Structure 1
Amino acid sequence: MKRYAMTVFCAAALSTSAIAQEGKTLTYADFQPVQTNWQMASDDSYLGSRVGCFETLVRLNWQMQLEPGLATAWEQIEPTVWEFTLRDGVEFQDGAPLTAEAVAVALNHLLNAEMPARPFSPKLIKSVEAVGEKVVRITTQTPSVLLPAQMAAPNTTILAPAAYQGKTIDPVGRCTGPFEIVEVKPKEYVKFKRNDNYWGGKPALEGGMVVFIPDANTRMTQVRSGEADIARLIPPHGVKQLEGAQGIELVKLKTPRVTELLLNNKKEGLNDVRVRQAIQAAIDGEAIAASVYEGTVTAAASAFVPDDPWAPKGIAPIYDPARAKALLEEAGIQPGQLQFELLAYTSRTELKDIAAIIQAQLGEIGIKVNVRVAEYTAIEPDMMAGTYDMALMSRGYLTDIADPYGFLLADYSCGGSYNMSHYCSEEVDAQLEKAAALSDPQARYEIYAQLAKKLFDEANTVYLVNETSVDARSERVKNYEMHPLVYYLMTKDITVE
C-alpha cells in the first residue's frame, strides 16, 4: 500500500480523553460567511469542516500527516487507479449508512459541478465508482501518487445521498462528523449540536455556534467581551492590543501562506519580464513586514518559507530601487508611461495598508498605481478573467493539497483553475506532470524548488511576506490548537471550563 505522509509543521496534539460536558456550548467568530449554499468547490466546504460536521475519506493531522478518516486504508493498484476501503459502522446523521455507493454519489456530484474543486476536478480525476459495499475506486487522468492528499481537502467532503438535491446541497443533518448543523443563516451564523452517535466517540461539548463577523475589530471585541470564545484571524494591529489581555490567550502559528502581489502576465507592460522584475525590485518586503505586520511575519522571496524542504536555495527578497529604474530604462519605459490599478480586498484588513505602500514605492520609480479596495467576491471575476492589472492576495500553498503540487498546478500551469497570473509555460506543465508520478517525496521537492526559482527569476508574482496566523481564545477553552491549514476547529475533544 502506498501512503503519502509528510511532517513539516508541528502543533500540539489534541486530547482524546475529554468528558462530555452537558449544557456546555462554544461560540466562535469567523470572518467569512456561507457564500455559495455549501458548494464544495468554495470556502463553504472549509467552514463546514471547521464546524465539525464535514468529513473526508482521509484526514490531515496537526503534524501534517495523512491518517484514516472515513476510509481506513488506501492502495494504488495501478498508476492511475486507487482504491479506498471505508470504515465500518459509520452512519450519516440522517441514519443512512456510509457505503461505497454513497461516497461515489458525493464525489461524482463534485466532479459534475459547474465549478469543480481544485483538488478534485475532471482535469485530475477520470472516474469514481463503487466496488462492492466498502471499496471506492478512483481513477486519475494521469499517474499520480498524490490522490490520498487530495482526498483530505475539505472540498472532498462526503455527505449523505439525500444532501444532493439537483445542483443544490443541504448539509443539515447529513454529515458524519462530531457535530451536526441544525440551523443556517448564511450571512449571520451557523448553529450546531453534538452528534451523540459519532463514530469517533461522543463529543465533549453539547454544541455551539459560529458567528460571521467580517470586521476584524468586531471579532476582537467579541472575544474580549466573552460573546465569542474564539476569534479567528486576528490582524497584526490586534495582536499587540490583545497581548496580555486578561482571560485571553493568543494562538500563533507560522502557516503555509504567503501574501503576494499578483501580476497579470498578459497585460501590456506586465507581459515584459523586465517590467515585472522592476516592480519586484521596487517593493520593500522587509518594510512591509516591519510596519504593517509589526514584525510578526518575515519578508518573502518565494511563496515557500526558507526551511520548507521544497524551498528554492540561494534567493532572497529584493529591494533595489536603482535596479528597478535601470530595468525600466532597459525596457524602454519612461517615467509616468505606465499606470496600473491595484486591487485589494476587505476581509484582510492589512491589504489596504500594503497597497498604499506599494503605490508609494512604485511611484518612486515612475509607475502610477491606482488602488481599489472591495470585497473579494467583487474583484475575483476580474482576476479570473484576466481583465485586471495587479492584485494583492493571501494564498495558502498547501491549502488545496498538502503538497506544493496543488498550488503550483492551480496557480501556474497553463490550464490552472486558479491561474490569476495568467502565466503559461510548457516547461512548467511538463515538470508538474512528472512530479505527480514520483513516489519519492524528495524528488518531487527538487522539482518544486526549481519551479519556485523560475517563478522568482521571472517575477511572475511578487511574493511579499510569509504569514503567521493568529487566533484569540478565551482561557476557558481547552484542547484547541490551530490547525496548520485551518481544516478543523470544532473537534470532539474541545471543551469549555
Structure 2
Amino acid sequence: MKRAWMLAAIAAFALTGAAEAKTLKWGAAREIASLDPYSYGDTFTLSVLNHVYEGLVRYTGDLKIEPALAESWETVSPTVWRFKLRQGVKFHNGNPFTADDVVASLERVTNDASPLKGNLPAYKSSKKIDDYTVEIEVNGPYPLLLNDLTNIFIFNKAWLVANNSLLPTDSGKGVKGYATDNANGTGPFIVESRRADAKTVYVKNPNWWDKPQHNIDTIEFLPIASASTRVAALLSGEIDFTNVAPLQDLPRLSASPEVKVLQTNELRTVIFALNLKDTLFESDVKDKNPLKDIRVREALYRAIDIDAVQKRAMRGLSRNTGALIAPAIPGYEPSQDVRLPFDLDGAKKLLAAAGYPNGFSFQMNCQSDGLVNEEEFCQAVASMWSRAGLRPNLSLGPRSQQTPKRVKGEFDVISFGWANEPMIDAYSILIQVMRSKSGSGGVFNWGNWGDPRIDALIDKAGVELDNSKRIPMMMEALKIAKTEHLFIPLHQQPMAWAMRNTVAATVQASDNKPRLWLTTMK
C-alpha cells in the first residue's frame, strides 16, 4: 500500500514536466530528532514535520491562529471545546481524515510516556460526536487551547493501529517505533525517502486540501552540521536555503550577489539552568549542592560579562536580556528586563560569603549543534566563571549525546533556550519548565527548580480566562524566578536565514519556523 501511494505521488510530480520541476535544497544545521512529531518537544523538529503533518489549527506567517484540519470551533461550556473538522481531507496513504484520527492522536500525545504531553497541559479528554465533530475537555477554564493545538499534529488512527504505533516514541530516551522512520500526514509534502543524517526527500502532495501558495515540487532536506561547509554549499549553489546562517559568515554571504540574508531576533530566550537537587552531579563538593545557595547563583550571574559575550561569541547580533522571556511574549515585563551588572569582585565576595572562597567544580553541559553559537558562548562563560575562582568542567557534544543526560538530570549547569512555542505565551515556560513536576506540568523541569509560590501562581493562571488577571499572575511568577536567580538569563537569540536567488520569496516569522508552503522559487 505504501509503495502504491508513493508511486502515485511521484507520478503526479512527473506530470508537471521535468523542465518545470522546482527542487529546493534545504541545508539545515542538524538532523531532526525523528519523523514522529511526538518523540521530543523540539521546535525545529516540529517545524520541519509541519510540512508533513498538520494540526487542527495553525499559525499564519504573522503568527495569527487560523483554521487547518478544523474548519471552526466553539466553546460549549467553560471546559469543553467543540471542533468541526474539515471534510474531504486525505492522509498521504489515501485514508480519509475523520474524528477517530483526532481522538487517537490526542490520546497518543497525552499518554504518560509522551515527551510532548506538556504541550497540552490542560487536556483532560476528547470524544467523537460524529465523523466530523470532536469535543475536547480541559481540566478547567483555559484560554490557550488553540495556541497549544497548533503543534499537536494529527495521525491517521488506522495507520497507527496497522503499524503498532498507538503509543508514542521518545527520542530522548531512545524509544523508537514505526513512526520514527515512517510518516503519514495530511500536509503539503510527502516523505518520499529518508536517510537519517544524510538526506530526506519530500515531494509535493498533489491532493493537499489547501490551495498551495508555493511552487515547490521537491524539498531535499540536507543536515550539514559544519557551518563552513554549509556556507560553501550555499555560495556554490549546492543548496538553495539554510535556516541557520552562521553569524560570523553573514558579511561574506551578504556580499555575494547571488545570496540574500534575512536577519532578526527570534522569540527564543537563552538562559543557563541549574541543578538544584540535593547534591551536584559532578563536583569536588560531595555532601551538598552549592547552587542551592542564592549567593552562589548570584555570583554566577555577576561573573558573566554579557557585553563581551554579545560582542565576541554572538557577533553583536544577540539582544542582551535580564528577562526570561522575549518582549513579544505575553507576560513580559520591561522592569524585569534589567540585568545584574557584571561584577567580578562582587562575585568572588559572594562565593566567599557562601563558604566557597576557593570555588568548587561542577559540570557544564552544552551542545555543539543546538542554540546559535552555543559552543562559543558556553566557552566564553566557562572562562569568565574560571576567573571568578570556579572550576567548570565544560562538556560539549551533539544534541543526540547531551539530551539524554539532560533528561536524566545528569548535569550541574545547562545552556537552555525556550521560545514559548506553540503557545506564544509565558505560560509555556512556566508550566513546562518552571513548574514542579506533576502530571503534564514540569516536563522539562530537569533540575528540580520548582518553587511552591511559582507553582501556585501557575495553577491559578492556567484556569484564568481574564487576561487582565492572568498576565499579572505570570509576571509575578517570573519575578520570583528572577529574584531567586533560579535561572541565569543571557540573550534573545538572533536568527539568520540565507537563500540563493533561486528562491523568489519566503516568509520569515519570529518563531524561526520555515514555512516552505509559503515559499516560491524562480
TM-score strictly above 0.5: yes
What is the DSSP-based 3-state SS (H/G/I as helix, E as strand, rest coil) of the residue aligned with 1:67? Answer: strand
Provide closer, same or farther for how the CA distance between residues 283 and 41 of structure 1 changes in structure 2, counting only shifts above 3 A: same
Shift, 1:439, TM fit: 2.2
Residue in structure 2 matching 1:30, options 23, 28, 31: 28
Q: Which residue of 1 aligns with 2:258?
A: 247
Pairing 1:211-290 to 2, within 5 Å after superposition? 211-266=222-277, 267=280, 268-290=289-311
1:175: which partner in 2?
185
Give 2:411's match in structure 1, choosing from 365, 368, 388: 388
Q: Counterpart in 2 of 1:16?
A: none
Could you say if the C-alpha distance between residues 384 and 116 of structure 1 is closer, same or farther in structure 2, counting changes exceeding 3 Å? Answer: closer
Partner of 1:327: 350
- What is the CA–CA distance in structure 2 between the aligned matches of 1:386 and 1:50, rounded to whole Å? 28
Q: Is the 8 A contact 2:190 2:204 kept in 1?
A: yes
CA–CA distance in 1 between the matches of 2:192 and 2:44?
A: 17
Q: Deviations over 1:65-120 (max 9, x none)?
A: 21111112222222322221111222222222211112112222222373341444
**Shift in CA distance, 244/405, structure 1 to aligned 2, threshold 3 Å:** same
- 1:50 and 1:490 in contact (8 A); partners too: no
Assess if the C-alpha contact under 8 Å between 1:312 and 1:452 holds in 2: no
CA contact (8 A) 2:265 2:494 kept: yes
**C-alpha separation between the residues in 1 aligned to 2:434 and 2:458?**
10
Q: Which moved more, 1:169-178 or 1:474-483?
A: 169-178
Q: 1:162 to 1:22 in 2, by over 3 A?
A: farther
Q: Unaligned stretches of 5+ in structure 2? A: 1-15, 166-176, 281-288
Tell me the SS of whatever aligns to 2:424.
coil
Secondary structure of the structure 2 residue equivalent to 1:459:
coil
| SS in structure 2 of the partner of residue 250 of structure 1 | strand
Identity rate, percent: 23
Q: Distance in 2 between matches of 1:41 and 1:220?
A: 30
Distance 1:287 1:276 in 2: 20
- How much does 1:477 deviate? 0.7
Moved more, 464-473 or 136-145: 136-145
CA deviations 1:172-218 (Å, max 9, x no partner) are 57221121111111221111111122111255222221111222222
Identify the range of structure 1 (230-239 vs 303-312) with the bigger mean alpha-carbon deviation.
303-312
Paired amino acid for 1:140: V
Using the TM superposition, name which of 182-191 and 165-174 deviates more.
Answer: 165-174
Q: What residue number does 1:431 align with?
A: 457
Is 1:496–2:521 an aligned residue pair? Answer: yes
2:302 maps to a residue whose letter is A
The equivalent of 2:390 in structure 1 is 367
Q: Distance in 1 between matches of 2:24 and 2:383?
A: 44
1:455 aligned onto 2:481: yes
In structure 1, the residue matched to 2:495 is 469
Q: CA deviation at 1:308?
A: 4.7
Equivalenced residue count is 473
Cα RMSD, aligned residues only: 2.4
Q: Distance in 1 between matches of 2:44 and 2:362?
A: 34
* 82-91 or 47-56: bigger deviation: 47-56
More divergent stretch after superposition (302-311 vs 232-241): 302-311
Aligned partner of 1:357 in structure 2 is 380
**Residue aligning to 1:108:** 107
Alignment of 1:3-402 (within 5 A): 22-42=20-40, 46-47=44-45, 49-50=47-48, 52-112=51-111, 114-120=113-119, 124-153=122-151, 156-164=152-160, 165-167=163-165, 168-170=177-179, 174-202=184-212, 203-266=214-277, 267=280, 268-306=289-327, 308-315=329-336, 316-318=338-340, 319-336=342-359, 338-348=360-370, 350-393=373-416, 395-402=417-424
Closer/same/farther in 2, CA of residues 218 and 204 from structure 1, 3 Å limit: same
For 1:111-131, what per-residue CA distance to the aligned partner results, in whole angstroms no more than 9, with x for missing partners?
23733414445x642222211
Amino acid at match of 2:493: E
1:48/1:193 CA distance change after superposition, 3 Å? farther
CA distance in 1, matches of 2:512, 2:131: 32
CA deviations on 1:7-59 (whole Å, 9 max, x unpaired) are xxxxxxxxxxxx99931111111223243352513267854653622111010
Aligned to 1:443: 469
Which residue is equivalent to 2:172?
none
SS of the residue aligned with 1:257?
strand
Partners of 1:436 and 1:181 in 2: how far apart?
37
Quick one: structure 1 residues 255 and 194, their matched pair in 2 at CA, closer, same or farther if it must change by over 3 Å? same
Contact 2:150 2:422 in 1 (8 A): no
Q: Does the 8 Å CA contact 2:188/2:205 hold for their aligned counterparts?
A: yes
- Contact 1:24/1:207 (CA < 8 Å) preserved in 2? yes
CA distance in 2, matches of 1:277, 1:461: 10
Query: In 2 relative to 1, CA 141–46 (structure 1 residues): closer, same or farther, beyond 3 Å?
Result: farther
**Cα-to-partner distance string for 1:318-364 (whole Å, 9 max, x where unaligned):** 2122322232232222123x111211111046222222222222122
CA–CA distance in structure 2, aligned partners of residues 295 and 238 of structure 1: 13
Task: Name the CA shift for 1:22/1:130 in 2 (closer, same or farther; >3 Å).
Answer: farther
Amino acid at match of 1:276: R
Q: Compared with structure 1, are the counterparts of its residues 151 and 179 closer, same or farther at alpha carbon in structure 2 (3 Å cutoff)?
A: same
**Deviating more after overlay: 209-218 vs 72-81:** 72-81
Name the CA distance, whole Å, in 2 between partners of 1:63 and 1:272. Answer: 43
CA-to-aligned-CA distance 1:220-247 (integer Å, 9 cap, x gap): 2211111111012122212233222221
1:45–1:91 CA distance, 2 compared to 1 (3 A): farther
Question: Matched residue of 1:454: which SS?
Answer: helix
Provide the rounded CA distance (Å) in 1 between the counterparts of 2:501 and 2:468: 41
Amino acid at match of 2:105: A
2:12 corresponding residue in structure 1:
none
Q: Helix, strand or coil: the match of 1:56? A: coil
Q: Distance in 2 between matches of 1:49 and 1:424?
A: 29
Distance 1:327 1:455 in 2: 19
**Alpha-carbon contact 2:37-2:45 (below 8 Å) kept:** no
**1:22 partner SS:** coil
